Amino acid sequence: MAKSSFTSKAIASAFMILTGSVIAGIVTMVILYNTQISSMNPTPRPTFSTTTTGPPPVMRLPKNLIPETYTVFLKPHFYTRIIEEVNVTSPNQTMLFTGNSTVNFHCAQTTRTIYLNSKDLAVSKPKVIDTENNNNIEVSAMKHHEDESDFLEIQLKEALEAGGNYSLSLDFKGEISENLDALFVSTYQEGEPEFEGDTNTERFLVATNMEPTDARRVFPCFDEPEMKAVFYVTIIHRRFTKALGNEQQSASNIIDEDWQYTSFHPTPKMSTYLVAFTVSEFKPTPSTHERVTIETFARPEAAAAGHTHYAASITGKILQFYENYFEINYQQKTLDQIALPDLSPAAMENWGLITYQEGGLLYEEGVSSLLHKEVIATLISHELAHQWFGNLVTMKWWNEVWLNEGFASYMSYFAVDHIDPSFKARDTFVMRDLHTAFEEDSLASSHPLSPPQEDVQETYQIIEMFDAITYSKGAIVLRMLEDVVGEKVFQKGIKMYLSDFKYANTDQNDLWDYIQMAVDEDSGHTKVALIMKPWTTQIGYPVITINTTDGGIYQKHFLFNDSSESNLWWHVPITAMSDTSGLFSFTLEDKPEKKDTLISKSGEWILANVNCTGYYRVNYNPENWERLLTQLEKDPHRIPLMNRGQLIDDAFNLARAKLVDVSLALNSTRFLHNETAYIPWESAVRNLEYIVLMFDRSEVYGPMQAYLQEQVKGLYSFFRNYTYYSKVPEDHSLQRSQLLAIHVACSNGLPECIEMASKMFANWMNSNTTNGIHPNLRSVIYCQAVAAGGGKEWEFAWNKFQSSSDTSEKEQLRKALSCTKKIWLLNRYLEYTLDPEKIRLMDVASTINYIAKNVAGQALAWNFVRAHWDYVRQGAGAMLIEGVTSRFSTQFELKELEHFATDYELDSANRAVYQAIEQTKVNIEWVGEHKDVILEWFEGQTAL
């Protein structure tokens, strides 16, 4: 699925639309997950007794029975619309689904018990047949395990023989979920009523979202990724609706006045979590591809208005790109994508039927930000990459889901770069993932990319794996490997890997073996597994320290909280350059070394980790830092672009870990008054954000704003002529810089910026219909105008938010509404998150977090989350905790958080709460030690 910050039950997507996430950098797709809260009818979460005696349940299926094919009939009884006609009694909506399934399996080990997974299903009529002689095998008992294993246990009167082939048929029924998981309902409003007297414009659809463990809630199955099988699916649905499935439709016919069925061709051999179907009234838009029929489905209105065009125009190209790159064709005849009004995560790669949130697929010319194309291209590229990494070749177990997600994220850089080089995906996306990974992985509570299988057993543990480490560190570690072995060798290795393991499952050792084969064929000497294992089986990453006076170099585990003892070390591939010499490379091992090449001659600088290909930070002796910073002020272009951003990032984070003075970090931002490139600015803004969070409630904030106003003036002026005429430059990376310029200038109080934003917004309010603000600039203008304004501006934005049917416009307004400085408005907005009619369930967590990000909303949001914890934790516990505690830096806040940890039921937010406690302790200490120095530094800058 698409990148996420998961918490178990819940969550909506705060898939921050690029335009809305100026500070966070780009495309932070925070995905939310499974909600178990029902909008209409909140059901308490099942709680598992912690007092039961006896051994803990076994979570994994025995491997004695091997499924081969499933034949599944599924009938969702709901209506896509309720027509209200005069004198006709309308039917009541129903959430029932019924079905039956027959699984054919091979018996590898004699047994009298069949175990499979089933959850929340009423299962009946078990029937077991020996398929070789068609003999019935009598069932003596059927029992559902009421624990986290979700086992359905079927006991037989006689044993199944090893080597035999059998089938198990079951009838079942269940309820369509209202919580965006398993088989779930989604609703939307659609235009004009079709019948006279029909006033109801509400429409319904159902869709599935099975990853990781919800297939068992739709039909009983062997619900583990390694238990691959072929699926023959038939959907029985209301007439005049359309059913989509994993495969091409094989037959469709009318059953009676009310019902029709649609059958699909058998799927390729695949994992249960990839099974998908939808029933809706959605309409398709075709894409071109030489072999595969590609269709992009959306609400009829959105499809008719052309909002699917951008996605449709790139999907064929991306698919073709991967086919060429992997030299393996996409396996099916059809590929459908569908833009769902409700979905959490942002997208899901079901084989042949990819589901997306609307914001991830729909683009409205003239309304959506040009930058939003990057979000769409990235998501499609990520999901299409999964058709190989994940669908064709799957990890053996969820502990190595990075083999799916890291690859999908990594491959998306290439595909996006291919379809539009102006996005500069390779630089920008790499920096985004690198920093996301660095941030998460700097805490002692991080986890390895590949933890032991035993640590990932229960569903909540599986869901916790879908985090920044898996997605971003996964991608970055692959990029490092590619850099070490070379692009050609890497590509060759993964081609062989995909080809040899198709329809099968792998673990990381298989990947290392295949890259090694490619290295050997190329007569290389790299020992792939030896180098890579420390990066995937250990938490964290190293900081390299170089002393250019004597050429000394050593590594140590980088942690924000440097008091944690750690003996970890890595094989660190290092590429460095100096002022005068070319590049030189070597591998650093555990022992400190001395290298002549690292001794600076006559005062020149040395730069390590050229283009940031390594997953490590670099520290230098103060003299070398000084020379690098001087170079940046004199002529920044001598330092590669990515390193200009990375030097700032390293300096700030080394300061956070107390390895360098904080004044060095602040000095690293001084060259920015001459810089217009996005990457260094983004790095500075993101890093200063920590200082902003720590100090925006203190006297440091004034001088800090004054300094930033000065620094950003050049950048703001650079774009002034664009901004004033509400235009944007051609180049995407300049468009990003322009947004940053306005954001930094306005939020630090540059008067001409605030005036500009307020005026543009006022023009819109006065004209009321025509919005003259360029789509790219809307997010930042809306936010700044709402921040500068009062109740009138807020009401206007709220009304626009409610009446707009455009997803990206809605996203921008939803974010902007959190920007007000008025407490009463923020309070009202928080209350609105409890009403699904006002704020969609999937948006609750991100909305609260937007409010918490605002200094005026911080305390309100924390109180609100605690007051409504039972409701909101099911929405997005972990993500909320991370958001609302990000400013915590006092003993009082730490106490509150510790009370919270003991008094509240944390469930899947458990890890997040303990990370927040650790982070708060780090913050308290950091603020205590640095406040005076920082205040002095900022005062010193403005006094100049």
Closer to Zn ion by Cβ: residue 100 or 394: 394
Identify the sign of the CA torsion 83, 89, 92, 97.
Answer: negative
In the window 775-794, what residues touch ligand NAG (CB under 6 A)?
none
The DSSP symbol for 818 reads: G
Binding pattern for the stretch 89-108 against ligand NAG, x by CB under 6 A and - elsewhere: x-xx-------x-x------
In the window 151-190, what residues touch ligand NAG (CB under 6 A)?
169
Classify the phi-psi angles of 41: left when phi > 0, otherwise alpha if psi is within -120 to 50, otherwise beta. beta
**Per annotation, catalytic residue among 148, 178, 364, 383:** 383
The residue among 321, 353, 318, 320 whose CA lies nearest residue 339 is 353
With CB under 6 A as the contact rule, which of the stretches 179-187, 292-300, 549-557, 932-940 interacts with ligand NAG?
549-557
Q: Count of alpha carbons within 13 Å of 306, Cβ hemisphere only?
A: 7
Q: Annotation-wise, does 349 bind a ligand?
A: no
The amino acid that residue 374 corresponds to is E
The residue among 94, 95, 76, 241 whose CA lies nearest residue 177 is 95
Q: Residue 427 interacts with ligand NAG (CB under 6 A)?
A: yes
Q: How far is the CB of 1 from Zn ion (least distance, A)?
A: 5
Name which of Zn ion, ligand NAG, none residue 408 binds, using a CB cut-off of 5 to 8 Å depending on partner kind.
Answer: Zn ion
- 187: CB partners within 8 A, 6+ apart: 202, 203, 204, 205, 341, 342
The residue among 521, 516, 542, 433 whose CA lies nearest residue 479 is 433
Q: How far is the CB of 640 from ligand NAG (least distance, A)?
A: 5
Name which of Zn ion, ligand NAG, none residue 663 binds, using a CB cut-off of 5 to 8 Å depending on partner kind.
Answer: none
Name which of ligand NAG, Zn ion, none residue 550 binds, using a CB cut-off of 5 to 8 Å depending on partner kind.
Answer: ligand NAG
Closer to ligand NAG by Cβ: residue 190 or 623: 623
Binds ligand NAG by CB under 6 A, chosen from 40, 86, 943, 944: 86
Q: Residue 134 interacts with ligand NAG (CB under 6 A)?
A: no
Assess contact for 282 and 356: CB atoms under 8 A: no
Name which of Zn ion, ligand NAG, none residue 611 binds, using a CB cut-off of 5 to 8 Å depending on partner kind.
Answer: ligand NAG
The residue among 877, 832, 834, 830 whose CA lies nearest residue 850 is 830
Name which of ligand NAG, Zn ion, none residue 547 binds, using a CB cut-off of 5 to 8 Å depending on partner kind.
Answer: ligand NAG
Q: Residue 199 interacts with ligand NAG (CB under 6 A)?
A: no
Name which of Zn ion, ligand NAG, none residue 102 binds, using a CB cut-off of 5 to 8 Å depending on partner kind.
Answer: ligand NAG
- 79: CB partners within 8 A, 6+ apart: 91, 93, 94, 204, 238
Q: Residue 87 interacts with ligand NAG (CB under 6 A)?
A: yes
Binding pattern for the stretch 575-604 against ligand NAG, x by CB under 6 A and - elsewhere: --------x---------------------
Name which of ligand NAG, Zn ion, none residue 1 binds, using a CB cut-off of 5 to 8 Å depending on partner kind.
Answer: Zn ion
Binds Zn ion by CB under 5 A, chosen from 160, 353, 408, 588: 408
Q: How far is the CB of 620 from ligand NAG (least distance, A)?
A: 8
Assess contact for 307 and 373: CB atoms under 8 A: no
Closer to ligand NAG by Cβ: residue 347 or 434: 434
With CB under 6 A as the contact rule, which of the stretches 86-94, 834-842, 916-924, 934-942 interacts with ligand NAG?
86-94
Name which of Zn ion, ligand NAG, none residue 583 binds, using a CB cut-off of 5 to 8 Å depending on partner kind.
Answer: ligand NAG
With tokens 């020992």, the residue in question is: 527
For residue 576, the cross-strand partners are 584, 608
For 885-907, the DSSP string reads TTT--SHHHHHHHHHHHHHS--G
The amino acid that residue 41 corresponds to is N
Using CB under 5 A, count the residues that bind Zn ion. Answer: 3
Binding pattern for the stretch 356-395 against ligand NAG, x by CB under 6 A and - elsewhere: ----------------------------------------
Closer to ligand NAG by Cβ: residue 129 or 529: 129
In the window 1-20, what residues touch Zn ion (CB under 5 A)?
1
Q: Residue 547 interacts with ligand NAG (CB under 6 A)?
A: yes
Tally Cβ neighbours within 10 Å of residue 266.
17
Q: Annotation-wise, does 447 bind a ligand?
A: no
Q: How far apart are CA 423 and CA 418, in angstroms?
A: 10
Name which of Zn ion, ligand NAG, none residue 62 binds, using a CB cut-off of 5 to 8 Å depending on partner kind.
Answer: none
811 in active site: no
Question: The tokens of 169 are what?
Answer: 């048929």
Q: How far is the CB of 181 from ligand NAG (least distance, A)?
A: 25
User: Hey, which bits of 291-363 come out as E strands?
Assistant: 293-298, 334-340, 347-348, 353-357
Assess contact for 526 and 485: CB atoms under 8 A: yes
Assess contact for 572 and 530: CB atoms under 8 A: no
Binding pattern for the stretch 456-475 against ligand NAG, x by CB under 6 A and - elsewhere: --------------------
Q: Count of alpha carbons within 13 Å of 392, Cβ hemisphere only?
A: 26
Cα separation values, 128 from 132, 139, 170, 216, 246, Å? 12, 7, 9, 19, 27
Tally Cβ neighbours within 10 Å of residue 207.
24
DSSP H/E element including 181:
none
Q: Residue 482 interacts with ligand NAG (CB under 6 A)?
A: no
Q: How far is the CB of 422 from ligand NAG (least distance, A)?
A: 14
Tally Cβ neighbours within 10 Å of residue 4.
27
The residue among 132, 170, 137 whose CA lies nearest residue 156 is 137
Binds ligand NAG by CB under 6 A, chosen from 38, 252, 621, 763: 621
Residues in the chain: 944
With CB under 6 A as the contact rule, which of the stretches 84-92, 378-386, 737-745, 753-761 interacts with ligand NAG?
84-92
With CB under 6 A as the contact rule, which of the stretches 85-93, 237-245, 365-373, 936-944 interacts with ligand NAG?
85-93
Q: What's the start-to-end Cα distance of the chain, in Å?
A: 51
Q: How far is the CB of 2 from Zn ion (least distance, A)?
A: 5
Closer to ligand NAG by Cβ: residue 646 or 849: 646
Binds ligand NAG by CB under 6 A, chosen from 449, 468, 610, 664: 610
Q: Count of alpha carbons within 13 Å of 283, Cβ hemisphere only?
A: 12
Assess contact for 675 and 733: CB atoms under 8 A: no
Question: The tokens of 925 are what?
Answer: 């200490």
Question: The tokens of 695 are what?
Answer: 């100090």
Q: Residue 40 interacts with ligand NAG (CB under 6 A)?
A: no
Q: How far is the CB of 637 from ligand NAG (least distance, A)?
A: 12
Q: Annotation-wise, does 868 bind a ligand?
A: no
Q: How far is the CB of 612 from ligand NAG (least distance, A)?
A: 9
Closer to ligand NAG by Cβ: residue 484 or 785: 484
Q: How far apart are CA 586 and CA 595, in angstroms?
A: 10
Q: How far apart are CA 860 and CA 817, in angstroms?
A: 15
The residue among 356, 847, 435, 459 whose CA lies nearest residue 652 is 435
Assess contact for 295 and 358: CB atoms under 8 A: no
Binding pattern for the stretch 626-645 against ligand NAG, x by CB under 6 A and - elsewhere: --------------x-----
The helix, strand and coil proportions of the chain, stated in percent and rounded to the nearest 5, come to: 45, 20, 35
What are the residue numbers of the active site?
383
Known binding residues for Zn(2+) are 382, 386, 405
Interface residues toward ligand NAG, by CB under 6 A: 73, 86-87, 89, 91-92, 100, 102, 169, 427, 547, 549-550, 552, 583, 610-611, 621, 640
Interface residues toward Zn ion, by CB under 5 A: 1, 405, 408
Known binding residues are 382, 386, 405
